[in-house]
Amino acid sequence: MTLITILALFSVAPPVWSDNDREETTKFFQQIEPQALLAFHRGLGLEKEGKYNDALQAFQEAVRLQPDYGEAYHHLGLARAQLKQYPQAVQAFKETVRLQPRWAEAHENLGAALLKTGQLPAALAEFQEAAKLRPHRAENQYLLGVAFGKLGRHQEALEAFTQAVKLEPNSVKALNNQGMAYIKLERWQDAGNAFKKAVSLKADDAEARYGLCAYYLNAGDRQAAAREFETLKRLDPKMAQKLADLLQK
């Protein structure tokens, strides 16, 4: 098995289910029926406590009372996502963007839910729409890169991850995925630089150590590779064992 194949087995950092962009919801928020608003705020409180099943019921009540309540649909989608009910999250986020099509982070969350359900082209389209609405958001560029990578469009994935790093230079997950994209394009030196930067930011990041191990093996520096492997075993024994098993194939 080639090192390029091994690196493709990296886990992707989960999306940051986001609810920071309230600009598009402000005017709409003022038009909510009192009982729907009460149910919505009850859901927000339960959501903050991590009681997602109860929060879900409150948000369902809010949209039942006011079917055009976009923000309630958005939080319904967030609750579904936290419960790993991704197909239902997709439906809630779709309703959100239907009601509030210029809400960038709703498109982003819809894309993340579509990604979770394996609907890659549809996910990519949502991330691209979010990027049009908010082009300078690092998380969206990161998710764009993930979608491009899963579709095998590695040059475009690299461009998205590079933009994510430019927008958020200390993003370890973006640097790790940038390193993976470089490896897919067989740009090993650039990959090594990305993983080294990730390690400089977070010395105990297992995926960065995994990437460095592969980089040093490709470079023929077995001593450095062994050092990284020992660190990886300490940080994540299961990931280290997976790498050892793959190298033996």
| Owner of token pair 């520096």 | 221
| Cα angle 104, 50, 43; round to 5 | 65
**What pLDDT was estimated at residue 248?**
73
pLDDT band at 19 (very low <50, low <70, confident <90, very high): low
63/72 Cα distance (integer angstroms)? 6
Any idea what DSSP says for residue 168? S
Q: Give the chain's mean pLDDT.
A: 89
| Owner of token pair 């994540």 | 236
pLDDT band at 28 (very low <50, low <70, confident <90, very high): very low
**What pLDDT was estimated at residue 10?**
43
Give the residue from 233, 172, 166, 163 showing the smallest Cα distance to 198. 172
Question: Contact 55/79 with Cβ under 8 angstroms?
Answer: yes
Task: Report residue 146: phi and psi, to 5°.
Answer: -60, -45
**What percent of the chain clears pLDDT 70, i.e. is strictly above it?**
88
What are the C-alpha distances in Å from 161 to residues 64, 118, 209? Answer: 40, 20, 19
For 104-147, what is each residue's pLDDT tens digit? 999 999 999 999 999 999 999 999 999 999 989 999 899 999 99
